[in-house]
Amino acid sequence: MTKYITSLAALGIISILNFAHAQNLPTDEDFSDIENLPGWIFSNQSSPLGETSWFQGNNLLIQAQDGESNSFIAANYRNTADSEEGESTICNYLIMPNPGDLATVSFYTRSRIAANNFNIYPDRLYLVYSPTGEINTGNCTDDFGDFTETLLVINPDLTQETSSPEGYPVNDWEQFSSEINGNGRVAFVYYVEDAGYFGANSNYIGIDSVEWTLTPILQTIFNVFK
């Protein structure tokens, strides 16, 4: 029996090694080209649905946190359209790839002052987790679908403060991080109520320099093939 269990364990390790080698999984993303993001999923569930989703950063509005000036991913108030009922809600998911057992995730984000260089239209970003690894999305207002655990929220009360923890960073990039400790799926959700062109909230956000670490055993395996 001991030999049998040992053999199964060895086969399991070999399978993991083969998987890690075949996938050549990354541990960071700088968004230098959002048309080439293997494993990432965009899902805009805004109501009403607008004309934009996630798009390549615009260096005329803000400069990237690192790398080329437009190497970040962005979303804006046009994620939602005008509502006949008078209120629009942005609910835009950016779902990370699934590299296996995650230990931590970190990233940089910021917003900006309005085009008139005076007004601040508050933004909000959720980092959520699907413990099952399933990626069904919710409408944000009722729930986040399979992403049942909220890891952190930037500017939860949609204040006009220009830095965290009270508001969303506006004048510069700010780094945030969260522990994961699971093999589920993580998503960023740009979730803003009373949003859009006529709304009191929502403007423009960027996300850059996302990094993640694996649990120790998977990180060791990854390093072997890095």
Does residue 192 sit within a domain? yes
What are the tens digits of pLDDT across the range 178-196? 999 899 999 999 999 999 9
| pLDDT above 90 for 102 | yes
Three-class SS of 137-157:
CCCCCCCCCCCCEEEEEECCC
Does residue 7 sit within a domain? no
The per-residue pLDDT for 215 is 82
Quote the mean pLDDT of the chain.
88
The per-residue pLDDT for 86 is 72
What are the tens digits of pLDDT across the range 2-49? 444 444 444 444 344 444 433 456 799 999 999 999 999 999 999 999
Helix and strand tally (H, E) in the chain? 2, 11
| pLDDT above 80 for 134 | yes
Residue 218 carries which side chain, given as an amino acid letter?
L
Number of domains in the chain: 1
Does residue 82 sit within a domain? yes
In eight-state DSSP terms, residue 79 is: G
Does residue 31 sit within a domain? yes
The per-residue pLDDT for 217 is 54
Angle among Cα 91, 96, 97 to the nearest 5 degrees reads: 145
The per-residue pLDDT for 25 is 64
CATH label of the domain that carries residue 208 = 2.60.120.200
Does residue 9 sit within a domain? no
Residue the block writes with tokens 């990370």: 96
Does residue 70 sit within a domain? yes
Does residue 176 sit within a domain? yes
What are the tens digits of pLDDT across the range 38-85? 999 999 999 999 999 999 999 999 999 999 999 999 999 999 998 867
Does residue 78 sit within a domain? yes
Q: Supply the pTM of this predicted model.
A: 0.86
Give the Cα separation of 28 and 151 in Å (integer). 19
Tokens of 171: 């004048």
Tell me which residue range forms the domain holding 160: 27-214
